[in-house]
Amino acid sequence: MSVDRGLDIVDFHLHFRIGTDETIHACEDAAGMHPGGEHERAVRAAGSAPYARAWRQAWSFPDPEPPAPRWQDEADRWADELRAVQVRRAVFVTGGGNDTVADVVDRHPDLLLGFAHHDPYSPGAADELERAVTERGLRGLKLFAPLLRGPLDHTDLDPLWSTAQRLGVPVLIHIGHYGSAGGLSFGRYGNPDELARMARRFPELHVVVPHFGVQHVQDLLFAAWGCPNIHVDTSGSNQWVRWMPYKLTLEDLFRRCYETIGPQRIVYGSDSSWFPRGYVTRYLDDQLRVCRELGMPDDHLRAIFAGNAERLLGLTDRPAENPGPGPRAASRPGRK
């Protein structure tokens, strides 16, 4: 497959599927996502199935198939897929636990990177992050805030944030609706206020919020206004915009972020996760089209679709290229 996009692609957000991801299941159980047990889970899944099916039909996506029985085969399939669509580097942010993700990355180290993903409230969470980064080569930490057992700004998590800040690795924190149709709409924890308080206490910690913050997009932008270490990632179909009470499009999301926080804090991701859909070039193509139609210059495109991720992941020794703020960010007042 020959693709000429005119720029390199570094994808900050994919998921590596295995048969049963005990790490995610444990976090869901701790958050009380399934209060009625397996019966409640099955009834809710059946009720949500038409929404999921309609979404796949709207995007012409095939039904998901189970991952390969051997993770090695699944990893090889992803490597072939990423090379075919000419994605230069890709980050698996979850994948069955830290050692499994690290093993996947080690199988194709020229192409794949990985994040740690474990319960931040578990004993030794900071030590586990240190081990995952320094011994297994992982490049960041992924958390689902709706699944946490406490708030993001609780002092119990300070050793974890301090470790990430010292190691210079980013923290990717999902806030808002979790799990698509039938998912967890509002967790007890993980709102943008918590995020901002944590980010202010650790000003050198790079915090990235995926999916434009989902339903918290407005509060996230204000949090990012006050905290220059907060970034957004663009990953997924962003179908959540259909559930907002006002019209909101992918173009609106890019325009608002570009005009406020600027291109240096927008990070491309696809949220690719399952076969036979494979790599979601549809998301990449749509995002590139929107950015080009907004008139973004080439240096801003390079930052969003590769450079910012490279900087956050420590993939380059070059000083960070600052492409400057978006067209309105440069002129906005510093105070009301």
Give the whole-angstrom CA distance, residue 162 versus residue 12: 22
Which of 169, 198, 25 lies closest to 97 in space, CA to CA?
25
User: So what's the pLDDT on residue 333?
Assistant: 35
Q: Is the pLDDT of residue 332 over 90?
A: no
3-class DSSP assignment, residue 203: coil
Q: What angle do CA 148, 245, 273 make, to 5 degrees?
A: 45
Q: How deeply is 121 buried, as exposed, middle or buried, from its count of CB atoms within 10 A (0-12, 13-18, 19+)?
A: middle
Q: Is the pLDDT of residue 22 over 80?
A: no
Q: Is the pLDDT of residue 229 over 80?
A: yes
User: Residue 295 — left, alpha, or beta (φ > 0 → left; ψ -120 to 50 → alpha)?
Assistant: left
Structure tokens at 41: 């889970």
Give the whole-angstrom CA distance, residue 249 versus residue 99: 38
Q: Quick one: average pLDDT of 229-245?
A: 94
User: So what's the pLDDT on residue 248?
Assistant: 96
Q: What is the pLDDT of residues 131-190, one digit of tens each?
A: 999 999 999 999 999 889 999 999 999 999 999 999 999 999 999 876 765 566 666 788
To which H or E segment does residue 225 belong? helix 217-226
Q: Quick one: average pLDDT of 323-330?
A: 54
User: So what's the pLDDT on residue 243?
Assistant: 84
Q: What is the DSSP letter of 304?
A: I
Q: What is the pLDDT of residues 55-101, one digit of tens each?
A: 899 999 999 999 999 999 999 999 999 999 999 999 999 999 999 99
User: So what's the pLDDT on residue 189?
Assistant: 82
User: So what's the pLDDT on residue 129?
Assistant: 99
Give the whole-angstrom CA distance, residue 111 versus residue 78: 10
How far, in whole angstroms, is CA 266 from its chain's centroid? Answer: 11
Distances (CA, A) of 257 to 53, 193, 206, 224, 234: 31, 18, 17, 10, 10
Give the whole-angstrom CA distance, residue 6 versus residue 238: 25
β-partners of residue 142 are 172
Give the whole-angstrom CA distance, residue 172 versus residue 168: 13
CATH number for the domain whose boundaries are 10-329: 3.20.20.140
User: So what's the pLDDT on residue 319?
Assistant: 42
Which of 200, 191, 199 lies closest to 146 in space, CA to CA?
191
Q: What is the DSSP letter of 287?
A: H
User: So what's the pLDDT on residue 336?
Assistant: 37
Helices (H) and strands (E) in the chain, counts: 12, 8
**Radius of gyration, alpha carbons of the chain:** 19
